[in-house]
Chains A and B, each alone.
Chain A
């Protein structure tokens, strides 16, 4: 049994018109049709409790922290009481690789690989890529020391996160759960993959969502949301891996917040 204590989401204004997205590194022939990015720049999103952190965070991770940090006040009493009994459950794709670095490696001798790789790449780039570090970084900001579960199934990740949070609450492993997800249009090939998953009129849209669950309320059967996978009937938007959670959080209810940071 769980109760939604708080929920929030970050999505582009509903009147924003979709555009075709191009990536310089991919050349003129590559474009992702029908997309909407959030207006927030990476620099704005990078204004975080630790000013160094953004350097090791991809855009999805920045979005995850943007929504996650909005739960700080409501989670603070739980964390203060017992930080091990607050859990964090995320759904997120892995962060981007460095396309410029990979381009620099093209048409070079194998013997030069390591030298060129090192010269063109920040050591923190790999930290951006690892999917669990997006959740870990948010946990560091909030001081959550309970279970951190990062689910990376490209469509069902949020459902896995919700169900695991519900499970941990029902089995008295935690007192509060932060469930969150984020999707960005930062990585060209990831965008292409998601575009292939949702052809036609679906608008690929950046976004993030977070909710706080506590014990109480009624037993939730999150698997009922399975039928919503890929459902664009209402807004025609698809928020990638974060879609299910964003749409759940958008659903009109008390404590609904639409955030523009």
Chain B
């Protein structure tokens, strides 16, 4: 059947609203984490910072509208339009698989309770598949055929959703079921309620440090993740479909592994056994051996637990070689965009493969004896990279790993 390729990308993120801008800032080690008090949240808010998308430079699409131009729609529209730039209407899209968040949410409820008017909200935005419908509308408006509902799939595995969306579609294309799919994820919930939800779970850092210093994956002084937002849209297709339209492959999606901890809702297993299995399954699915992996795009959230367990798992998977496999965490620059994170990290992986440069992990301030791998501290680094393992581990114990390869 041939390999599955990523052939187009689009992004709205805290470090850039185009692939070029994202690449520039990613490799420069720029941080998209900003002070949010007095802006997105009140001055007295317990969470000082988050990774925020610059809304001023988002593309406005002519058919966008509805009662409220909500951020999830704006981010999805922007990233999808960028991804579709070089796709003609003859290049049929067979499916859309997107990581999306909840439907009816805090803002919907508050608006209705305050206004006592059920028509005061956009009910289409109260569907979990709202982002998928945005993409379908864009396709229709541009004259593309729209995939059937059977193939418009909203997935949710919390922080593993992005990798799950990409992996699911990759498998279907590799099997011959589909030729070409739009994949990705959107998270536009850096708002008061959602920040408080994570805060009440003790998941976020609130340390009194400059915003760009707050996300500290693998550092000894890490104390929780920084919330982020964004939308990333990728086009993935079979080698045959890509060649038929003379498109250029940006990177390959080679392997996918998905396991569940079946342990606890918010804590991973101490022995990381299911995480290890997911990583091994992805590597095996790619037809590779562990010693062929050149770099890891970590889940690397900056929580005590995840970073320790992920490091432990890497050591188990890669054995003595573990300390020679560089590990980067994009979340040090962008924060954690939960359902969109995997797709954002896929974009970063493509850039690393194309440029043959490892992205940095910022803010590695203090060594942690339990996190002692090569995390590419603070600056990018040239490297020979053929294969990258990308990890996503979600609340509830869902572990989704992908392997990307050079095109």
Contacts and interface: CB of A to CB of B under 8 A. Distances in A.
Are these two chains actual partners, yes or no?
yes
Interface of A: 25-27, 29-30, 56, 83-84, 88, 93-94, 97, 99, 102-103, 105-106, 110-111, 113-114, 117-118, 121, 123, 125-127, 129-133, 135-137, 139-140, 142-157, 159-160, 163-164, 167, 171, 187, 189-190, 192-193, 196, 222-223, 226, 229
Given A111-B44, A145-B259, A167-B175, A190 B396 contact: no
Contact of A118 (B157, B177, B196, B260): B196
A29 to B, nearest CB: 7
Given A126-B197, A163-B150, A189-B108, A142 B113 contact: no
B200 A121 contact: yes
B123 A193 contact: yes
A117 B196 contact: yes
Contacts, number: 201
B200 A126 contact: yes
A153 B171 contact: no
B102 A130 contact: yes
B105 A111 contact: no
A149 B397 contact: no
Contact of B156 (A118, A137, A150, A187): A150
A149 B168 contact: yes
Contacts of B398: 132, 136, 148
Contacts of B102: 94, 129-131, 152
Interface size class of B (residues with CB under 8 A): 35 or more
B157 A132 contact: yes
B48 to A, nearest CB: 12
B230 to A, nearest CB: 19
Given A113-B192, A193-B127, A149 B155 contact: yes
B143 interface: no
A149 B46 contact: no
Contacts of A126: 197-198, 200-201
A145 B168 CA distance: 17
A111 B396 contact: no
B46 A114 contact: yes
B28 interface: no
A159 B43 CA distance: 46
B140 interface: no
Interface stretch (B67-75, B77-85, B263-271): B263-271
B175 A152 contact: no
B396 A136 contact: yes
A144 B114 CA distance: 43
Given A148-B260, A152-B156, A189-B126, A226 B149 contact: yes
Given A114-B196, A149-B157, A152-B103, 20 more contacts: A29-B116, A30-B118, A94-B105, A106-B114, A114-B192, A125-B200, A130-B102, A132-B158, A133-B158, A139-B260, A148-B396, A148-B398, A149-B155, A149-B164, A150-B157, A153-B154, A167-B171, A189-B108, A223-B150, A226-B150
B182 to A, nearest CB: 15
A241 to B, nearest CB: 9
A141 to B, nearest CB: 9
A155 B149 CA distance: 9
A132 B156 contact: yes
Nearest to A164: B168
Given A105-B110, A135-B396, A187-B104, A130 B260 contact: no
Interface string B121-163: 0010011110010000000000000001110111111100100
A88 B106 CA distance: 29
26 contacts: A30-B118, A93-B128, A94-B103, A99-B109, A99-B113, A102-B109, A102-B110, A126-B198, A127-B266, A130-B156, A132-B156, A132-B158, A132-B396, A137-B396, A139-B397, A140-B263, A140-B265, A146-B258, A148-B398, A149-B258, A151-B155, A152-B102, A160-B153, A167-B172, A192-B118, A196-B123
Q: For the complex, would chain A's binding face be called helix, strand, loop or mixed by DSSP majority?
A: helix
Contacts of A163: 150
Return the 5 tightest CB-CB contacts between A and B, nearest first.
Answer: A136-B396, A94-B102, A152-B128, A126-B197, A123-B200
Contacts of A25: 113
Contacts of A146: 258-260
B149 A156 contact: yes
Contacts of A144: 260, 262
Nearest to A163: B150
A156 B110 contact: no
Contacts of B277: 84, 145
B103 A154 contact: yes
B205 interface: no
Nearest to A147: B258
A38 B247 CA distance: 54
A27 to B, nearest CB: 7
Nearest to A110: B42
A77 to B, nearest CB: 17
Contacts of B46: 114
Contacts of A84: 259, 277
Given A99-B113, A132-B158, A145-B261, A153 B201 contact: no
A63 B168 CA distance: 27
Given A93-B128, A127-B266, A136 B168 contact: no
